[in-house]
């Protein structure tokens, strides 16, 4: 039976608190085994590593406690080690041998050893938000932070993987939480988005700007500010936001019908004991709203453009790329058709089922599809019923309706039955926010990550790397220093093989043709990872 590649431990273990080890390609490996000499940095990855504490299990894929992995490249060799991120959620769980802080799909019950009065007051002390930063890692100034999607980010030492400090972004900007997918400009400026309570207790979404490294060596986070605000379609029900689009001059925010019921969220812990997943609901009536805003109209402030762009209901987690072309914004995104929340299918019990059960569940889930939406910047109300898009290379349309809204129909760039193109990456350094040709992604077969895919977004041609019993992670693109073409570079991914009785390995692919360049095996189990970065 094929099982989802989830491994982990019940507590800190030599398996996962791994000391540095030098790893080389296996001696019987026949493909070219030379690690490219230009790789002289570190591949950093984050994901869940601890799925049980004492006798208490975590129930959802996004509940496992954060484990950070590091592959160092030097002189044709790779050194690997990992450490748990010592968040409050992790330290308290290990200390008390139970789930102490409620995670995405696991509710933390009060300590059973406490008396009834202590338990009573625990229920009414408010929501204790998790800092379990298992999703991604990115730089702010000269520092690096492991992150999830709450208001807490965790500063880490990327040389030793030591945990340095917990930072509450609420201390600096009006934000309830931010995504794990910021946009970072070449000078180091960081943009991110999250929901917030605005004027008159109205709900909104704020785009936050964190400046680059400061000349006076002060912390850039202290100079964070909100640059633009998007309105919410519903007052007490924000959409779930996992990422957003940014071109050279515009932000694109997609408000989906997957909602967080704030009233339920704020009352759930005190009334009946609940987790984050219990607070999601879908509203198919609303469909999907596309919002745009100018990045900078002067003084570092943006401006919301009050046009109503609507589309059919979708789930959206990852933007691929967003760029401008002749008065239009082109937004390429990884979608799941429909309004049902895809995370409903990521409970560990479902993913650990046998292959036939996994496929049966996936057949009921929304269908994945890579889509291109095109948003016109120049709107004329008198052009009702006419396609406002005149770019010659896309079939996407935008049509003005009688109520003044613009209905968007996408062009499909990639689609296959239950085959998802997810965790996308591009040559971000040179083509982020600009016209581009190539995207790379993790291929999900009925939610099982079993391939790496390259997609030409202009021709829709695809290339695939795949091996039996091998489950890769998000591919990260690293450009060849003297590269000229957009795809001159390599892809780095971590592959796990839990059912094949062989080690996991770090895999290097040629980004041009997806051929294998090298692999380096690790002599310990590696759990699945979500996102990461290549640090030069």
pLDDT tens digits, 217-230? 999 999 999 999 99
Looking at every residue in the chain, the average pLDDT score rounds to: 88
Spatial contact of 294 and 383, defined as CB atoms under 8 Å apart: no
Angle (CA) 367 371 377, round 5° = 140
Tell me what percent of the residues of the chain surpass a pLDDT of 90: 69
Spatial contact of 207 and 241, defined as CB atoms under 8 Å apart: no
Cβ atoms < 10 Å from Cβ of 528: 24
181 is in an annotated binding site: yes
Q: What is the DSSP string of 238-299?
A: PBP-S--EE-SSEEEEEE-SEEE-HHHHHHHHHHT---GGGGEEE-TTT-EEEEEEES-SST
pLDDT at 177 over 80: yes
Dig out the tokens for 334 from the structure: 């990884």
183 is in an annotated binding site: no
pLDDT at 124 over 50: no
Q: What is the DSSP string of 174-192?
A: S-S---S--EE-TT--EEE
Average pLDDT over residues 471-488: 96
pLDDT at 357 over 90: no
531 is in an annotated binding site: yes
Alpha-carbon gap, residue 179 to 177, rounded angstroms: 7
Q: In what order do the strands lie in the sheet with 368-376?
A: 314-325, 328-337, 368-376, 411-414
What DSSP character marks residue 330? Answer: E
Contacts (Cβ under 8 Å, ≥6 apart) of 200: none
Tell me what percent of the residues of the chain surpass a pLDDT of 70: 87
- Mapped onto helix, strand or coil, the DSSP state of residue 431 is helix
φ/ψ (deg, to 5) at 3: -120, 150
Alpha-carbon gap, residue 157 to 19, rounded angstroms: 15
- Mapped onto helix, strand or coil, the DSSP state of residue 132 is coil
Alpha-carbon gap, residue 93 to 99, rounded angstroms: 5
Q: What is the pTM of this model?
A: 0.91
Residue 372: closest CA among 245, 239, 243, 185:
245
Dig out the tokens for 358 from the structure: 């996994």
Spatial contact of 332 and 413, defined as CB atoms under 8 Å apart: yes
Alpha-carbon gap, residue 183 to 244, rounded angstroms: 8
pLDDT at 501: 65
pLDDT at 425 over 80: yes
Residue 435: closest CA among 276, 247, 282, 298:
247
Alpha-carbon gap, residue 450 to 472, rounded angstroms: 6
Using DSSP bridges, classify how beta strands 406-409 and 303-311 pair: parallel, antiparallel or unpaired. parallel
pLDDT tier at 321, thresholds 50, 70, 90: very high
Alpha-carbon gap, residue 157 to 94, rounded angstroms: 22
16 is in an annotated binding site: no
pLDDT at 464 over 50: yes
- Mapped onto helix, strand or coil, the DSSP state of residue 523 is coil
pLDDT top residue among 276 and 535: 535
Contacts (Cβ under 8 Å, ≥6 apart) of 208: 169, 173, 175, 178, 191, 192, 193, 194, 224, 225, 226, 227
Write the CA distances from 80 to 24, 144, 504, integer angstroms: 10, 19, 12
Dig out the tokens for 115 from the structure: 């008396």
φ/ψ (deg, to 5) at 112: -65, -15
pLDDT at 497: 82
pLDDT at 17: 55
């Amino acid at each position: 039976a094929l099982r989802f590649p989830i491994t982990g431990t019940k507590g800190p273990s030599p398996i996962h608190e791994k000391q540095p080890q030098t790893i080389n390609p296996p001696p019987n490996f026949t493909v070219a085994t030379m690690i490219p000499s230009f790789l002289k940095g570190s591949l950093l990855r984050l994901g869940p590593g601890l799925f049980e504490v004492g006798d208490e299990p975590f129930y959802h894929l996004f509940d496992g406690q954060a484990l950070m992995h590091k592959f160092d490249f030097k002189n044709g060799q790779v050194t690997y080690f990992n450490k748990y991120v010592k968040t409050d959620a992790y330290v308290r769980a290990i200390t008390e041998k139970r789930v102490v802080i409620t995670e995405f799909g696991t509710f933390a019950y009060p300590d059973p050893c406490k008396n009834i009065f202590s338990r009573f007051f625990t229920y009414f002390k408010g929501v204790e938000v998790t800092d379990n930063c298992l999703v991604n890692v990115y730089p702010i100034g000269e520092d690096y932070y492991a992150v999830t999607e709450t208001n807490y980010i965790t500063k880490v030492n990327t040389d030793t993987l030591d945990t340095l400090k917990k930072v509450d972004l609420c201390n600096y900007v009006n934000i309830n939480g931010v995504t794990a997918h910021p946009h970072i400009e070449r000078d180091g400026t960081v943009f991110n988005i999250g929901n917030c309570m605005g004027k008159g207790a109205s709900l909104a979404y704020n785009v936050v700007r964190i400046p680059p490294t400061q000349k006076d060596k002060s912390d850039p986070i202290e100079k964070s500010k909100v640059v633009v605000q998007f309105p919410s379609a519903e007052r007490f029900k924000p959409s779930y936001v996992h990422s957003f689009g940014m071109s050279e001059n515009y932000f694109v925010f997609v408000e989906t019908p997957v909602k967080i019921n704030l009233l339920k969220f704020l009352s759930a812990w005190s009334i009946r004991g609940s987790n984050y997943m219990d607070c999601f609901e879908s509203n198919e009536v609303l469909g999907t709203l596309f919002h745009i805003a100018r990045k900078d109209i002067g003084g570092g402030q943006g401006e919301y453009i009050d046009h109503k762009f609507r589309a059919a209901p979708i789930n959206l987690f990852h933007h691929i790329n967003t760029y401008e072309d002749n008065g239009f914004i082109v937004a390429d995104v990884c979608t799941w058709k429909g309004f049902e929340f895809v995370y409903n299918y990521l409970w560990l019990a479902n993913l650990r089922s046998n292959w036939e059960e996994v496929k049966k569940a996936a057949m009921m889930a929304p269908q994945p599809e890579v889509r291109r939406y095109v948003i016109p910047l120049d709107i004329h109300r008198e052009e009702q019923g006419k396609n406002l898009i005149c770019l010659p290379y896309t079939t996407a349309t935008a049509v003005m309706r009688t109520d003044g809204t613009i209905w968007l129909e996408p062009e499909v760039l990639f689609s296959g039955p239950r085959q998802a193109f997810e965790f996308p990456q591009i040559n971000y350094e040179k083509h982020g926010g600009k016209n581009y040709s190539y995207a790379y992604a993790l291929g999900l077969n009925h939610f099982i990550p079993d391939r790496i895919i390259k997609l030409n977004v202009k021709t829709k041609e695809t290339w695939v790397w795949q091996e039996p019993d091998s489950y890769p992670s998000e591919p990260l693109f690293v450009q060849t220093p003297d590269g000229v073409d957009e795809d001159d570079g390599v892809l780095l991914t971590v592959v796990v093989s839990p059912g094949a009785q062989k080690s996991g390995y770090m895999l290097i692919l040629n980004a041009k043709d997806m051929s294998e360049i090298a692999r380096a095996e690790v002599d310990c189990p590696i759990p699945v990872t979500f996102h990461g970065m290549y640090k030069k």
